Structure 1
Amino acid sequence: MAKPMTKTQLVAALAEEMGADKKSAGAALEAVCALITREVSGGGAVTLPGVGKIYCRERPERMVRNPATGEQIKKEADKVVKMTIAKALKDSVNG
């Protein structure tokens, strides 16, 4: 498996793709990340065309097991961020 792309590599590739400098590409990436964070933390969802949909889902209260002791404990309800991958991306990876 290949190593994941770092933020620096992503900004450099984005700058090259946009035909802009790294500073403006970095600012664009930060703006997109901030927008996604704000929308999803507020309970909304963001669809990135060709990539997928990022959304927040609520998990109900449930019983979990402590792996160290085997003790059953009650875990409070919480929220978790999920991502559904777009069919176009799946097809490009598998095809």
Structure 2
Amino acid sequence: MSKNGVGGTSRTVTRADLAEAVYQRVGLSRTESAELVEMVLGEMADALGRGDVVKLSSFGSFVVRSKGERIGRNPKTGIEVPITPRRVMVFKPSNILKSRVNGQTISVDDADD
């Protein structure tokens, strides 16, 4: 596992990496593993596109929030510019994931998602 953050090295985990992990751990073929990863990510994307919350126990929640129109300012010129309404996605990690990222162990029974 690599470190991430200031002064550390980081690695990007790709769809192919996830499919390979499924292949190694579950025993599906590589093709089936890749299809499974695509199906899961597709379901998540579809749910978020509808505005649903995607909650993965012991991992976190993906939430779509609506932001209203507001006035922004160009930092170079100082000119005020309207920012149109939009939807943004927010990820809220579970306490278990936060602990794991910080190198601590926590049992599922001790955590409150």
1:47 alignment partner in structure 2? 55
Report the 3-state secondary structure (helix = DSSP H, G, I; strand = E; otherwise coil) of the residue aligned with 1:50. Answer: coil
2:19 alignment partner in structure 1? 11
Farther off after superposition, 24-33 or 14-23:
14-23
| Distance across 2 between alignment mates of 1:63 and 1:47 | 32
1:2 is aligned to 2:10? yes
Q: Choose between structure 1 and 2: higher strand proportion.
A: 1
Structural RMSD (CA)? 1.3
| TM-score normalised to structure 2 length | 0.76
Matched AA of 1:89 = L
For residues 9-65 of structure 1, the C-alpha deviation after alignment (integer angstroms, 9 at most, x for no partner) is: 221112112121111111111111111111111111111122111111001111112
| Distance across 2 between alignment mates of 1:75 and 1:40 | 22
Report the 3-state secondary structure (helix = DSSP H, G, I; strand = E; otherwise coil) of the residue aligned with 1:89. Answer: helix
Runs in 1 of length 4+ with deviation above 4 angstroms?
none
| Distance across 2 between alignment mates of 1:5 and 1:48 | 18
| TM-score normalised to structure 1 length | 0.89
> What are structure 2's unaligned runs of at least 5 residues?
1-8, 105-113
Q: Choose between structure 1 and 2: higher helix proportion.
A: 1
1:22 alignment partner in structure 2? 30
2:92 alignment partner in structure 1? 84
Which structure has more relative contact order (CA 8 Å, sep 6+)? It is 1
- Residue correspondences, number: 95
